[in-house]
Amino acid sequence: MSANDGPAGDALRDPSFLADLRRDLLRFAELQLRDQAAAEDAVQETLAAALSGQDRFSGQAALKTWVFAILKNKIVDTLRRRQRTATITSLVPDDDEQEDDFAVLFNPGRHWNPADRPQHWGDPEATFAQQQFWVVFEVCLTRLPENTARVFMMREFLGLETPDICLELALTTSHCHVILHRARMGLRLCLEQRWFTPENPIC
Amino acid sequence: MLTCQQATRLLSEAQDRKLRLKEQWPLKLHLLICSGCDHFRQQMDFLRQACRRYSVAPPNAGDAE
Protein backbone atom coordinates (compact mmCIF):
# COMPACT_ATOMS: atom_id res chain seq x y z
CA MET A 1 0.00 0.00 0.00
CA SER A 2 1.43 3.37 -0.90
CA ALA A 3 1.47 5.77 2.02
CA ASN A 4 -0.41 8.86 1.02
CA ASP A 5 -0.84 10.87 4.15
CA GLY A 6 -2.11 14.18 3.01
CA PRO A 7 -5.13 16.07 1.84
CA ALA A 8 -7.60 13.97 -0.10
CA GLY A 9 -6.94 16.05 -3.19
CA ASP A 10 -3.32 14.90 -3.29
CA ALA A 11 -4.14 11.22 -3.02
CA LEU A 12 -6.80 11.54 -5.70
CA ARG A 13 -4.18 12.70 -8.17
CA ASP A 14 -2.74 9.20 -8.34
CA PRO A 15 -4.18 8.25 -11.74
CA SER A 16 -4.48 4.49 -11.25
CA PHE A 17 -6.02 4.86 -7.78
CA LEU A 18 -8.42 7.46 -9.13
CA ALA A 19 -9.42 5.28 -12.09
CA ASP A 20 -10.18 2.30 -9.83
CA LEU A 21 -12.05 4.46 -7.37
CA ARG A 22 -14.10 6.09 -10.09
CA ARG A 23 -15.07 2.70 -11.47
CA ASP A 24 -16.14 1.46 -8.02
CA LEU A 25 -18.10 4.63 -7.30
CA LEU A 26 -19.86 4.43 -10.62
CA ARG A 27 -20.86 0.82 -10.14
CA PHE A 28 -22.20 1.57 -6.67
CA ALA A 29 -24.17 4.58 -7.91
CA GLU A 30 -25.56 2.75 -10.96
CA LEU A 31 -26.72 -0.11 -8.80
CA GLN A 32 -28.85 2.26 -6.77
CA LEU A 33 -29.93 4.86 -9.28
CA ARG A 34 -30.32 2.48 -12.24
CA ASP A 35 -29.67 5.43 -14.50
CA GLN A 36 -26.24 5.84 -15.99
CA ALA A 37 -26.41 9.59 -16.54
CA ALA A 38 -27.60 10.25 -12.98
CA ALA A 39 -24.91 7.92 -11.66
CA GLU A 40 -22.20 9.76 -13.66
CA ASP A 41 -23.44 13.07 -12.25
CA ALA A 42 -23.40 11.81 -8.67
CA VAL A 43 -19.87 10.42 -9.09
CA GLN A 44 -18.66 13.61 -10.73
CA GLU A 45 -20.02 15.73 -7.89
CA THR A 46 -18.55 13.33 -5.35
CA LEU A 47 -15.07 13.50 -6.85
CA ALA A 48 -15.25 17.27 -7.15
CA ALA A 49 -16.19 17.51 -3.47
CA ALA A 50 -13.47 15.03 -2.52
CA LEU A 51 -10.78 16.86 -4.50
CA SER A 52 -11.51 20.10 -2.71
CA GLY A 53 -11.51 18.35 0.69
CA GLN A 54 -8.79 19.27 3.12
CA ASP A 55 -9.30 16.19 5.30
CA ARG A 56 -6.12 14.14 5.69
CA PHE A 57 -6.04 10.40 5.27
CA SER A 58 -3.54 7.75 6.15
CA GLY A 59 -3.85 5.26 3.35
CA GLN A 60 -6.13 4.69 0.43
CA ALA A 61 -8.64 2.52 2.31
CA ALA A 62 -9.58 5.33 4.69
CA LEU A 63 -9.81 7.74 1.80
CA LYS A 64 -12.03 5.37 -0.15
CA THR A 65 -14.38 5.00 2.81
CA TRP A 66 -14.65 8.78 3.10
CA VAL A 67 -15.33 9.22 -0.63
CA PHE A 68 -18.05 6.56 -0.48
CA ALA A 69 -19.67 8.42 2.41
CA ILE A 70 -19.81 11.53 0.19
CA LEU A 71 -21.29 9.47 -2.65
CA LYS A 72 -24.00 8.06 -0.40
CA ASN A 73 -25.11 11.57 0.49
CA LYS A 74 -25.19 12.48 -3.20
CA ILE A 75 -27.31 9.43 -3.94
CA VAL A 76 -29.75 10.34 -1.17
CA ASP A 77 -29.95 13.87 -2.65
CA THR A 78 -30.56 12.48 -6.12
CA LEU A 79 -33.29 10.15 -4.87
CA ARG A 80 -34.97 12.98 -2.98
CA ARG A 81 -34.84 15.25 -6.03
CA ARG A 82 -36.18 12.49 -8.20
CA GLN A 83 -38.97 11.83 -5.72
CA ARG A 84 -40.13 15.42 -5.84
CA THR A 85 -40.41 15.38 -9.62
CA ALA A 86 -41.58 11.80 -9.95
CA THR A 87 -44.89 11.00 -11.50
CA ILE A 88 -47.15 8.81 -9.47
CA THR A 89 -46.54 5.81 -11.72
CA SER A 90 -42.89 5.61 -10.83
CA LEU A 91 -43.86 5.31 -7.17
CA VAL A 92 -45.95 2.27 -7.83
CA PRO A 93 -44.05 -0.74 -6.61
CA ASP A 94 -43.02 -3.46 -9.03
CA ASP A 95 -45.91 -5.17 -10.80
CA ASP A 96 -48.34 -6.46 -8.27
CA GLU A 97 -46.84 -6.62 -4.82
CA GLN A 98 -47.85 -10.15 -4.15
CA GLU A 99 -46.44 -11.33 -0.93
CA ASP A 100 -46.63 -14.94 -2.01
CA ASP A 101 -44.09 -14.66 -4.80
CA PHE A 102 -41.96 -16.98 -2.77
CA ALA A 103 -44.86 -19.22 -1.80
CA VAL A 104 -43.43 -22.02 -3.96
CA LEU A 105 -40.72 -22.48 -1.34
CA PHE A 106 -43.32 -23.61 1.18
CA ASN A 107 -45.57 -26.66 1.35
CA PRO A 108 -49.35 -26.37 1.72
CA GLY A 109 -48.91 -26.19 5.50
CA ARG A 110 -46.66 -23.15 4.89
CA HIS A 111 -43.51 -24.84 6.15
CA TRP A 112 -40.33 -25.12 4.08
CA ASN A 113 -40.23 -27.73 1.35
CA PRO A 114 -37.32 -30.02 2.26
CA ALA A 115 -35.40 -28.98 -0.85
CA ASP A 116 -35.95 -25.28 -0.17
CA ARG A 117 -35.07 -25.25 3.52
CA PRO A 118 -32.46 -22.52 4.15
CA GLN A 119 -28.94 -23.87 4.55
CA HIS A 120 -26.23 -22.99 7.03
CA TRP A 121 -23.97 -20.43 5.38
CA GLY A 122 -21.00 -20.83 7.68
CA ASP A 123 -18.69 -18.08 8.86
CA PRO A 124 -19.60 -14.76 7.18
CA GLU A 125 -16.03 -13.44 7.45
CA ALA A 126 -14.69 -16.38 5.46
CA THR A 127 -17.23 -15.59 2.73
CA PHE A 128 -16.59 -11.84 2.74
CA ALA A 129 -12.88 -12.47 2.29
CA GLN A 130 -13.52 -14.03 -1.11
CA GLN A 131 -13.35 -11.62 -4.01
CA GLN A 132 -15.68 -13.70 -6.14
CA PHE A 133 -18.43 -13.53 -3.52
CA TRP A 134 -18.86 -9.80 -4.11
CA VAL A 135 -19.29 -10.37 -7.82
CA VAL A 136 -22.14 -12.77 -7.08
CA PHE A 137 -23.54 -10.37 -4.49
CA GLU A 138 -23.74 -7.62 -7.13
CA VAL A 139 -25.31 -9.98 -9.65
CA CYS A 140 -27.99 -10.88 -7.10
CA LEU A 141 -28.68 -7.23 -6.27
CA THR A 142 -29.03 -6.44 -9.94
CA ARG A 143 -31.58 -9.23 -10.35
CA LEU A 144 -33.98 -7.73 -7.81
CA PRO A 145 -36.88 -5.83 -9.39
CA GLU A 146 -36.01 -2.16 -9.68
CA ASN A 147 -38.27 -0.61 -7.06
CA THR A 148 -37.71 -3.48 -4.66
CA ALA A 149 -33.97 -2.96 -4.99
CA ARG A 150 -34.32 0.79 -4.54
CA VAL A 151 -36.19 0.47 -1.23
CA PHE A 152 -33.77 -2.22 -0.03
CA MET A 153 -30.68 -0.17 -0.85
CA MET A 154 -32.14 2.97 0.75
CA ARG A 155 -32.48 0.88 3.88
CA GLU A 156 -29.28 -1.16 3.82
CA PHE A 157 -26.75 0.89 1.86
CA LEU A 158 -27.82 4.43 2.60
CA GLY A 159 -28.84 3.52 6.14
CA LEU A 160 -32.20 5.29 6.12
CA GLU A 161 -34.73 4.24 8.75
CA THR A 162 -37.82 2.44 7.50
CA PRO A 163 -40.33 5.16 8.53
CA ASP A 164 -38.27 7.75 6.62
CA ILE A 165 -38.21 5.58 3.51
CA CYS A 166 -41.98 5.03 3.64
CA LEU A 167 -42.53 8.75 4.04
CA GLU A 168 -40.13 9.57 1.26
CA LEU A 169 -41.79 7.14 -1.16
CA ALA A 170 -45.33 7.77 0.09
CA LEU A 171 -45.78 4.10 0.98
CA THR A 172 -47.63 2.69 3.95
CA THR A 173 -45.46 1.13 6.63
CA SER A 174 -46.80 -2.32 5.98
CA HIS A 175 -46.17 -1.96 2.26
CA CYS A 176 -42.61 -0.90 3.00
CA HIS A 177 -42.11 -3.98 5.15
CA VAL A 178 -43.51 -6.22 2.43
CA ILE A 179 -41.10 -4.75 -0.12
CA LEU A 180 -38.10 -5.13 2.19
CA HIS A 181 -39.12 -8.68 3.00
CA ARG A 182 -39.36 -9.53 -0.69
CA ALA A 183 -35.94 -8.01 -1.29
CA ARG A 184 -34.40 -10.13 1.45
CA MET A 185 -36.19 -13.27 0.27
CA GLY A 186 -34.92 -12.67 -3.25
CA LEU A 187 -31.40 -11.85 -2.25
CA ARG A 188 -30.96 -14.80 0.11
CA LEU A 189 -32.42 -17.21 -2.41
CA CYS A 190 -30.12 -15.92 -5.13
CA LEU A 191 -27.05 -16.17 -2.87
CA GLU A 192 -28.01 -19.63 -1.69
CA GLN A 193 -28.44 -20.86 -5.24
CA ARG A 194 -25.49 -19.09 -6.81
CA TRP A 195 -22.93 -19.03 -4.08
CA PHE A 196 -23.69 -21.46 -1.29
CA THR A 197 -24.81 -24.43 -3.35
CA PRO A 198 -21.63 -25.85 -4.87
CA GLU A 199 -23.40 -27.88 -7.53
CA ASN A 200 -24.88 -24.73 -9.02
CA PRO A 201 -21.99 -22.93 -10.66
CA ILE A 202 -22.34 -19.17 -10.77
CA CYS A 203 -23.90 -17.50 -13.82
CA MET B 1 -48.12 -22.34 16.11
CA LEU B 2 -46.26 -20.14 13.68
CA THR B 3 -45.73 -21.37 10.13
CA CYS B 4 -42.31 -21.04 8.49
CA GLN B 5 -43.75 -18.47 6.11
CA GLN B 6 -44.93 -16.32 9.03
CA ALA B 7 -41.63 -16.83 10.84
CA THR B 8 -39.59 -15.64 7.85
CA ARG B 9 -41.76 -12.54 7.55
CA LEU B 10 -41.17 -11.73 11.24
CA LEU B 11 -37.43 -12.41 10.95
CA SER B 12 -37.22 -9.98 8.08
CA GLU B 13 -39.27 -7.33 9.87
CA ALA B 14 -37.07 -7.71 12.93
CA GLN B 15 -34.37 -6.03 10.81
CA ASP B 16 -36.57 -2.95 10.52
CA ARG B 17 -38.56 -2.69 13.73
CA LYS B 18 -38.61 -4.06 17.24
CA LEU B 19 -40.93 -7.05 17.39
CA ARG B 20 -43.72 -6.99 19.93
CA LEU B 21 -43.56 -9.44 22.83
CA LYS B 22 -46.49 -11.39 21.48
CA GLU B 23 -44.53 -11.81 18.24
CA GLN B 24 -41.21 -12.60 19.91
CA TRP B 25 -42.29 -15.61 21.95
CA PRO B 26 -43.94 -17.68 19.22
CA LEU B 27 -40.94 -16.86 17.02
CA LYS B 28 -38.41 -17.97 19.65
CA LEU B 29 -40.35 -21.17 20.12
CA HIS B 30 -40.49 -21.79 16.38
CA LEU B 31 -36.74 -21.24 15.99
CA LEU B 32 -36.01 -23.82 18.68
CA ILE B 33 -37.60 -26.55 16.65
CA CYS B 34 -37.03 -25.35 13.06
CA SER B 35 -33.47 -25.41 11.74
CA GLY B 36 -34.55 -23.98 8.37
CA CYS B 37 -35.93 -20.83 9.97
CA ASP B 38 -32.97 -20.59 12.32
CA HIS B 39 -30.69 -20.63 9.28
CA PHE B 40 -32.93 -18.00 7.70
CA ARG B 41 -32.44 -15.85 10.81
CA GLN B 42 -28.67 -16.16 10.46
CA GLN B 43 -28.95 -15.34 6.77
CA MET B 44 -30.76 -12.09 7.59
CA ASP B 45 -27.84 -11.10 9.82
CA PHE B 46 -25.47 -12.14 7.07
CA LEU B 47 -27.25 -9.90 4.56
CA ARG B 48 -27.09 -6.93 6.89
CA GLN B 49 -23.37 -7.44 7.49
CA ALA B 50 -22.69 -7.91 3.79
CA CYS B 51 -24.58 -4.71 2.95
CA ARG B 52 -22.68 -2.79 5.64
CA ARG B 53 -19.40 -4.07 4.30
CA TYR B 54 -20.34 -3.36 0.73
CA SER B 55 -21.62 0.15 1.30
CA VAL B 56 -18.73 1.36 3.42
CA ALA B 57 -16.45 0.68 0.47
CA PRO B 58 -17.25 -2.13 -1.98
CA PRO B 59 -14.53 -4.74 -1.48
CA ASN B 60 -13.04 -5.50 -4.87
CA ALA B 61 -9.98 -5.50 -7.03
CA GLY B 62 -9.51 -1.75 -6.69
CA ASP B 63 -8.65 -2.03 -3.03
CA ALA B 64 -5.15 -1.15 -2.01
CA GLU B 65 -5.35 -3.27 1.13
Which chain B positions have a beta carbon within 8 Å of A165's beta carbon?
A: none
Domain ranges of chain B: 4-55
Question: Which residue does chain B place closest to A166, by CA atoms?
Answer: B16
Q: With an 8 Å Cβ cutoff, is A79 touching chain B?
A: no
pLDDT category at B64 given cuts 50, 70, 90 is very low
A50 and A136 assigned to the same domain = no
Q: Is the pLDDT of residue B27 over 50?
A: yes
A114 vs A86, which has greater pLDDT?
A: A114
Q: A64–B57: do the CB atoms touch at under 8 Å?
A: yes
The total domain count for chain A is 2
Q: With an 8 Å Cβ cutoff, is A188 touching chain B?
A: yes
HEC letters along chain A: CCCCCEEHHHHCCCHHHHHHHHHHHHHHHHHHHCCHHHHHHHHHHHHHHHHCCCCEECCHHHHHHHHHHHHHHHHHHHHHHHHHHCCHHHHCCCCCCCHHHHHHHECCCCCECHHHCCCCCCCHHHHHCCHHHHHHHHHHHHHCCHHHHHHHHHHHCCCCCHHHHHHHHCCCHHHHHHHHHHHHHHHHHHHHHHHHCCCCCCC
Residue A63 within any structural domain of the chain: yes
CATH code at position A52: 1.10.1740
Mean pLDDT of A53-68: 83
Q: Is the pLDDT of residue A91 over 80?
A: no
The mean predicted confidence, pLDDT, of chain A is 85
Q: With an 8 Å Cβ cutoff, is B44 touching chain A?
A: yes
ipTM of this model? 0.91
Question: Which residue does chain A place closest to B49, by CA atoms?
Answer: A124
A70 and A94 assigned to the same domain = no
A51 and A111 assigned to the same domain = no
pLDDT of residue A95: 53
Q: How far apart are the CA of B6 and the nearest CA of chain A, in angstroms?
A: 8
